[in-house]
Amino acid sequence: MHQTSEIVFFGSEMVPYCKTGGLADVIGALPIELARLGSKVTVMLPYYREVMEWTEKTGVEINPIEDSTLPFFLPGYTGQAFLRELIHESGMRVVFIDYPPAYDREELYTEGGADYEDNATRFGIFAKAGLEACKKLGIKPDIIHAHDWQAACAIIFLKTHYRSDQFFAGTKSALTIHNLGYQGRFPADKFPALDLPWSLFSVDGLEYFGQVNILKGGIQFADRITTVSPTYSKEIQTPEFGAGLDGVLQAKADKLSGILNGVDYSAWDPSIDKLIPQNFSPDTLAGKWACRKALRKEVGLPEGKGPLIGMISRLAEQKGFELLLETLDRIVKLDCQIVILGTGDPRYHQLLTEAATKYPKNVSVNLGFSNELAHKIEAGADIFLMPSRYEPCGLNQMYSLRYGTVPIVSSTGGLKDTVDNVTPARLKSANATGFVMKEFTGNSLFNTVKKAAKMFRDEPSAWHNLMVTGMKKDFSWLSQAKIYLKLYDSLIKERNISVEEITA
């Protein structure tokens, strides 16, 4: 890869400015790693109210760029957008699209459990503004790397509105699917908001059973498609995991690969984490027990001999809460305690609150979004539970490994790729790092928790080995960023290299 290659990311959330899930962690880490490796990297991000609140909280100013009013036009766009920017110490540039009618809102995508009605317009404008920003700022991208449906319009527009624009003549595109469960589907009457010819409202374009499907459009137009783990890249080509797009993805199989996400260990490492009561490492585990004690106190759970199980999650059907609710009575009888941090579907808010009321000594439910409590749970829990129905990559299980918090996961996607299931042979060779459920059923969840709780209580030295093996695993971004560089390089050289070649 040419050291000076120009890479432009389009992402709809990014730590530390705004976050609803793992996408924000990726956009907050991968571009920095690429910049450190010598690429010129810009990230396009909407200037949400949450970003404004971040500037107020931190005192960091995100200054407007002079003369940056954008000349673009899309239906539904009224008023004017302009640009702001921050330069990270790595050299990465974050360009914010300041357009209050679309982004000065309570939440990023939804309010009160319902999507904003004009999301197609909001993210169409984001893409168009980001492409115009490239022109305005003289950033001629070699690669446009768009993430999820909210950014997919950048690729669609590149190949339509800007098809004949010489400025983007050398630009190649990559689309990363972080979660196929969110596709940006809208009624057909939203199609004009994207200002595309109706000929694209077709089976080879953005149409999907009479609706607009923005992610599908991105898949059709991208030069390369990636997902965030190798297993998930295979799974999404099957009807069970394809969320209706398995056929479309199969047709693009030669362009599709899976690259595992990394972990930002400057934020998620118990030996330096400033958000936890006491730091610790494999050699100084006393700190972990102090974190556990403090966590129990903070979330209102009494001291106990059984394991403390942590969960940090969007409260969405994907994350397997049905299985937990189905088996909670039995899990509680195993003398386990569970601390849950999450926000999302109001139905789970209610059901989990009821469970906490029923089992005040065993279940603590913390509804809301708190990065600080998330760190404290990672540090203080003995076990981390992630029984997802599907999981494109999953970050929390990787964080848990580093914090000595043994993961219990379902056998899917990135969970399968990152957790080495306990077997007698793996335990003996010190290669086991967690427990993988056999099936996605309540019984399997219960049996796996039972097995883990038994080992926790009866085999302290095996448990200790399990923790330490996990803590020493390395999922840092550096190696993953190098894989992305190879992929960009192949695109620039117009060579569609195989998945095996990229990861070799």
Query: Which tokens sit at 493?
Result: 């050289």
Give the helix/strand (H/E) hosting 137. helix 119-137
Contact between 152 and 186 under an 8 Å Cβ cutoff? The reply is no
236 binds ligand ADP (CB under 6 A): no
Q: Rank residues 229 and 237 by Cβ distance to ligand ADP and give the closer one.
A: 229
Q: Rank residues 77 and 390 by Cβ distance to ligand ADP and give the closer one.
A: 390
25 binds ligand ADP (CB under 6 A): yes
Residue from 371, 441, 447, 503 in contact with ligand ADP (CB under 6 A):
371
Cβ neighbour number for residue 452 with a 10 Å cutoff: 25
Q: How far is the CB of 134 from ligand ADP (least distance, A)?
A: 27
Q: How far is the CB of 405 from ligand ADP (least distance, A)?
A: 12
Q: How far is the CB of 339 from ligand ADP (least distance, A)?
A: 12
Q: How far is the CB of 267 from ligand ADP (least distance, A)?
A: 9
Q: How far is the CB of 348 from ligand ADP (least distance, A)?
A: 12
C-alpha–C-alpha distance, residues 236 and 191, integer Å: 26
Contact between 95 and 137 under an 8 Å Cβ cutoff? The reply is yes
Q: Is 260 left (phi over 0), alpha (psi -120 to 50) or beta?
A: beta
Contact between 326 and 356 under an 8 Å Cβ cutoff? The reply is no
Q: Rank residues 167 and 369 by Cβ distance to ligand ADP and give the closer one.
A: 369
- DSSP readout, 335-357? T-EEEEEEEE-HHHHHHHHHHHH
Q: Which of residues 28-87 bind ligand ADP (CB under 6 A)?
A: none
Q: How far is the CB of 274 from ligand ADP (least distance, A)?
A: 16
| C-beta nearest to ligand ADP: residue | 22
Note if the bond before 277 is cis, omega within 30 degrees. no
Part of the chain binding ligand ADP (CB under 6 A), chosen from 133-141, 248-256, 364-372, 478-486: 364-372
110 binds ligand ADP (CB under 6 A): no
Q: Rank residues 70 and 374 by Cβ distance to ligand ADP and give the closer one.
A: 374
278 binds ligand ADP (CB under 6 A): no
Q: Which of residues 438-467 bind ligand ADP (CB under 6 A)?
A: none
Residue from 55, 90, 370, 441 in contact with ligand ADP (CB under 6 A):
370
- DSSP readout, 286-352? HHHHHHHHHHHHHHT----SSPEEEEEEEESGGGTHHHHHHHHHHHHHTT-EEEEEEEE-HHHHHHH
Give the helix/strand (H/E) hosting 460. helix 460-471
How many residues make contact with ligand ADP (CB under 6 A)? 19
C-alpha–C-alpha distance, residues 149 and 222, integer Å: 12
Q: How far is the CB of 294 from ligand ADP (least distance, A)?
A: 18
119 binds ligand ADP (CB under 6 A): no
Contact between 22 and 147 under an 8 Å Cβ cutoff? The reply is no
C-alpha–C-alpha distance, residues 396 and 402, integer Å: 10
Query: Which tokens sit at 419?
Result: 């957790």
Crossing angle of helices 286-299 and 371-380, in 10° steps, is 130
Cα–Cα–Cα angle for 175, 163, 166, rounded to 5 degrees: 110
Residue from 343, 443, 465, 476 in contact with ligand ADP (CB under 6 A):
343
394 binds ligand ADP (CB under 6 A): yes
C-alpha–C-alpha distance, residues 82 and 68, integer Å: 5
Part of the chain binding ligand ADP (CB under 6 A), chosen from 73-81, 210-218, 340-348, 456-464: 340-348
Cα-Cα end-to-end distance for the chain:
16
Part of the chain binding ligand ADP (CB under 6 A), chosen from 20-28, 288-296, 444-452, 490-498: 20-28
Q: What residue type is assigned to position 10 of the chain? A: F
Residue from 7, 131, 332, 341 in contact with ligand ADP (CB under 6 A):
341
Q: What residue type is assigned to position 103 of the chain? A: Y
In 3D space, the residue among 366, 379, 383 whose CA is nearest the CA of residue 300 turns out to be 366
Residue from 144, 153, 374, 471 in contact with ligand ADP (CB under 6 A):
374
Q: Rank residues 201 and 399 by Cβ distance to ligand ADP and give the closer one.
A: 399
Residue from 154, 395, 436, 499 in contact with ligand ADP (CB under 6 A):
395
Q: How far is the CB of 290 from ligand ADP (least distance, A)?
A: 21
C-alpha R_g of the chain: 23
Q: How far is the CB of 395 from ligand ADP (least distance, A)?
A: 4
314 binds ligand ADP (CB under 6 A): yes
Q: How far is the CB of 352 from ligand ADP (least distance, A)?
A: 12
91 binds ligand ADP (CB under 6 A): no
271 binds ligand ADP (CB under 6 A): no
Binding site for ligand ADP (CB under 6 A): 21-23, 25, 179, 312-314, 341-343, 369-371, 374, 393-396
